[in-house]
Amino acid sequence: MGHIMKHRFLHVFLFFSALALFIIPCCGEKDDVSAIRSLIKKGAGHAEKHEIDGILKLASEDLRVLPGDVDRREVRRILWLAFRHYGDLKVVYPRPGVEIEKDGNHASAQFPFLIVKRDQSFPKLNELVNDPQKWVQEVGESADLYRLKLRLSKSSGEWLVNQAQLEGFTGLGFSE
């Protein structure tokens, strides 16, 4: 009887071990998606407070921004000019689409966003947070609308932006 119990225990143990190997990567990917969305939320918060250093802490040292293949130093200057232009601002965006690559250490994220004066509101956008296409349609031409495409890498368990591509909305779509 002891031998049968050990055998069943071994089967149960192997079953749960195999299940854990399947579930843990899925949970890890989901956690990575949440971590990247959190990083984007932090970046928007830093932008609203005009915290250039806070934004740059979310990026790798070799950050490149397109169009123009701009480096960190030039990003700092451009952000300073943008913040001066907008004054008190709000960054509004729907839930970012995030894709984790198979290696688990690289990812991409993409989302439209608005830069608006702090006191401007779009109450209907909260209802459309999970539908980026309808979100863009609702905004129309009432604000400065952009799309941001990010390439990210994970280093020491932390996600950082390596590349950002900003596209302006032309009324007919996004242009690079």
Q: Is the pTM of this model over 0.85?
A: no
Highest averaged pLDDT of the listed ranges 20-24, 59-63, 168-172: 59-63
Confidence band for 82, pLDDT divided at 50, 70 and 90: confident
* 31-50 average pLDDT score: 95
Residue 167, beta-bridge partner list? 147
- In the chain, what are the domains? 2-175 (3.10.450.50)
Task: Judge residue 24's burial from the number of C-beta atoms within 10 Å of its C-beta, 0-12 exposed, 13-18 middle, 19 or more buried.
Answer: exposed
Residue 145 zone, left/alpha/beta (φ > 0; ψ -120 to 50; rest): beta
CA angle 26–56–72, rounded 5-degree value: 115
Confidence band for 21, pLDDT divided at 50, 70 and 90: very low
